[in-house]
């Protein structure tokens, strides 16, 4: 794929130039898969898997037949995997997406927590700047993104706004409305839902001042409703309906259908939420640290959310801002682009342009007040389903541990001075920390995107390699030759570069295996033995990665993350900036959920908290850097990506 200039190109102008996602060679993928197992399974298990791979891939065997199905599908679709990935990885999963699937992010420097600002003002800015970004998308003024000179797919930007996940079985679906036709957002406050028009009668965006007036009205009206004694409260204004989106998907499907059938009013209110440009949640809490903010965004106040929206902002009483994002609809790299725009507008909000948009009406006398959505719910939903949803979410959320932290010792500038590529440095640190706290290598997922292809999403980078294990086994040996340790680390880093580039170029392992698995299920109704083999789960297949990692770099004002795949796993989202490395690290405390999701077979792993892993990780960075600093003159640059 030759690099192409995006100068002066409109947002979607270069989509037609993007190549289609390739279907990798069957035997190449099977060989890579076997190589990926070498450090994670026993010799006996590896030998058994070799036999299964041979049987699966033999001439005229099941693998070749399934590969033919994929090749035919690739001829018929722009992206042979995209629809399957969305359906199988996300929409058919009955797990509550609220806590276990959605992503979260926070905005602002750490010092911002010492400078509280008006909640209504910050919320108004957030709404205005996001709508400005929408207007840029409508006019296709957002330039196509690139990586290494290669154009990236922009299709996910088409569905950022006015998108909502709808619960159905056997799979959920998306309700996507053309945002050009929508003029409102939904605002959640004290568990109630307001419809707020963000365009005036002349179809101009409301100013920040006008939005602030409207949001103050919502805050005051919510406080008034809360002050009423229970006997005077309107039965059609129940609180915490949004908690229903935190239910298991099968239960939420059943409940939503019951709501629609019970009264047409509910369907209208649902439509207002689902079609809204996005949601805004006004929160009464005051998180004092980034870690507290992260927890509030991920695991608190379910009754004041709608977890199925493409994205929803959370603005807290002290002016802090975060967001909760539904993952099936879009990946972090796309949302990050919009949030970067938001951050840049925040930082430049005192400029002349800001004065122009400050206020036009500035009074409810000229603006229609926000509409408070009404519901008519059965007693079963009001008295049982909503309270259960709140209780279950609080129970599961209470086990989540989240740490947001910066390592100011290292950054891109310092690392490159000793020929270290920052992403690989972090990944090697994660491996060393994991080896030390778990006592062995564990299956590790690094997310790599495939947006160089039309409708591209992600691919797994299997970080644990034979080269990584060879280095780890020598790293902490007191009598090891340091030059040899450094050489083994260099080999591990070089190997990581190779598999990363393979993933980005559409030649990874896991998405191809997934396609073969889905094709088999559609054809025969049962998975090939290759996918029920213990080695598949022990290496992370089927969602069994103990360490889930993702690099979201490029804007120091932004940080975010996700929960681990497994109850005993660790989630690590990081950013590599010039002067620091930023992290959100997550873990779960032991709970009843451990028995529901036991994880991969093999020796039981020790329970490691986010805080323990963070300490081990930062120590690993120090050790790796010291080793490479002492030996870097004899090493070639590890890689350029």
> How many whole angstroms separate alpha carbon 512 and alpha carbon 81?
9
> How many whole angstroms separate alpha carbon 619 and alpha carbon 407?
11
Residue 13 neighbours by CB distance under 10 Å: 15
Contact 349, 122 (CB under 8 A): no
Contact 304, 283 (CB under 8 A): yes
Three-state DSSP class for residue 171: coil
**Most distant CA atoms of the chain, gap in Å:** 80
- Which phi and psi (to 5°) does residue 355 adopt? -60, -40
> How many whole angstroms separate alpha carbon 425 and alpha carbon 561?
19
Contact 316, 285 (CB under 8 A): yes
Residue 473 structure tokens: 């086994």
327, 362, 449, 512: which one is catalytic? 327
Contact 546, 569 (CB under 8 A): yes
Q: Give the strand order in the sheet containing 279-282.
A: 371-372, 192-197, 184-189, 279-282, 311-315, 321-325, 103-107, 558-561
Q: How far is CA 30 from CA 33, 58, 482, 529, in A?
A: 5, 11, 35, 14
For 77-207, where are the alpha helices, taking DSSP H only?
82-84, 97-100, 119-138
> How many whole angstroms separate alpha carbon 278 and alpha carbon 121?
18
- Which phi and psi (to 5°) does residue 182 adopt? -110, 140
| Separation of CA 78 from chain center | 24
CA Rg value for the chain: 25
The residues pairing with 571 across neighbouring beta strands, listed in sequence order, are: 548, 586
Quick check: is 361 catalytic?
A: no
Contact 608, 437 (CB under 8 A): yes
CB hemisphere CA count around 346 (13 angstroms): 23
Q: What angle do CA 518, 330, 165 make, to 5 degrees?
A: 80
Residue 540 neighbours by CB distance under 10 Å: 26
> How many whole angstroms separate alpha carbon 253 and alpha carbon 196?
27
* Residue from 83, 304, 270 nearest 188 by CA: 304
User: What residues are labeled active site?
Assistant: 327
């Amino acid at each position: 794929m030759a690099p192409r200039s995006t100068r002066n190109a409109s947002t979607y102008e270069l989509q037609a130039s993007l190549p289609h996602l390739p279907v990798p060679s069957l035997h190449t993928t099977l060989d890579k898969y076997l190589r990926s197992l070498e450090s994670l399974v026993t010799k006996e298990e590896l030998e058994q898997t070799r036999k299964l791979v041979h049987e699966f891939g033999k001439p005229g065997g099941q693998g070749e037949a399934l590969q033919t199905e994929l090749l035919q599908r690739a001829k018929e679709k722009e992206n042979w995997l995209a629809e399957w990935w969305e359906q199988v990885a996300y929409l058919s999963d009955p797990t509550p997406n609220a806590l276990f699937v959605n992503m979260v992010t926070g905005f602002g420097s750490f010092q911002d927590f010492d400078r509280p600002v008006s909640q209504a003002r910050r919320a108004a800015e957030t709404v205005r700047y996001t709508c400005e970004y929408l207007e840029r998308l409508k006019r296709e003024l957002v330039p196509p993104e690139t990586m290494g000179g290669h154009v990236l797919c922009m299709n996910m930007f088409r569905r950022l706004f006015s998108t909502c996940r709808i619960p159905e079985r056997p799979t959920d679906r998306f309700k996507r409305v053309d945002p050009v036709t929508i003029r409102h957002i939904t605002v959640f406050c004290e568990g109630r839902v307001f419809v707020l028009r963000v365009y005036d009668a002349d179809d101009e965006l409301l100013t920040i001042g006008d939005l602030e007036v409207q949001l103050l009205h919502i805050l005051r009206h919510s406080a008034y409703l809360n002050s009423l004694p229970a006997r005077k409260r309107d039965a059609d204004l129940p609180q915490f309906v949004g908690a229903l989106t935190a239910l298991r998907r099968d239960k939420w499907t059943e409940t939503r259908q019951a709501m629609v059938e019970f009264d047409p009013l509910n369907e209208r209110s649902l439509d207002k939420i689902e079609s809204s440009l996005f949601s805004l949640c006004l929160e009464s809490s005051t998180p004092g640290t980034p870690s507290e903010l992260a927890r509030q965004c991920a695991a608190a106040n379910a009754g004041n959310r709608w977890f199925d929206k493409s994205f929803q902002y959370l603005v807290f009483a002290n002016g802090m801002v975060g967001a909760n994002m539904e993952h099936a609809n879009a990946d972090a790299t796309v949302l990050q682009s919009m949030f970067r725009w938001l951050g840049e507008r925040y930082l430049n909000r005192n400029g002349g342009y800001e004065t122009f948009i400050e206020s036009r009406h500035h009074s409810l006398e000229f603006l229609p007040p926000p509409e408070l959505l009404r519901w008519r719910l059965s007693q079963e939903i009001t008295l049982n389903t909503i309270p259960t949803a709140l209780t279950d979410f609080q129970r599961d959320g209470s086990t989540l541990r989240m740490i947001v932290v910066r390592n100011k010792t290292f950054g891109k500038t310092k690392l490159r001075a000793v020929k270290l590529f920052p992403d690989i440095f972090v990944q090697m640190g994660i491996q060393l920390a994991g080896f030390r706290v778990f006592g062995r290598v564990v299956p590790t997922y690094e997310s790599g995107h495939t947006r160089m292809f039309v409708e591209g999403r992600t691919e797994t980078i299997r970080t644990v390699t034979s080269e990584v294990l060879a280095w780890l086994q020598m790293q902490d040996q007191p009598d090891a030759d340091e030059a040899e340790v450094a050489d083994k680390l260099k080999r591990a880093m070089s190997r990581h570069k190779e598999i990363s580039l393979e993933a980005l170029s559409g030649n990874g392992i896991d998405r191809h295996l997934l396609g073969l698995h889905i094709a088999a299920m559609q054809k025969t109704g049962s998975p090939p033995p290759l996918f029920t083999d213990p080695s598949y789960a022990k290496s992370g297949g089927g969602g069994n990665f103990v360490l889930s990692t993702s690099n979201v770099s490029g804007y120091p004002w932004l940080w975010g993350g996700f929960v681990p795949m497994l109850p005993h796993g660790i989630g690590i989202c990081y950013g590599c900036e010039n002067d620091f490395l930023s992290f959100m690290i997550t873990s779960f405390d032991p709970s009843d959920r451990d028995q529901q999701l036991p994880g991969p077979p093999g020796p039981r792993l020790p329970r490691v908290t986010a805080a323990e892993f963070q300490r081990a990780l930062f120590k690993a960075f120090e050790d790796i850097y010291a080793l490479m600093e002492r030996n870097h003159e004899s090493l070639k640059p590890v890689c350029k990506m």
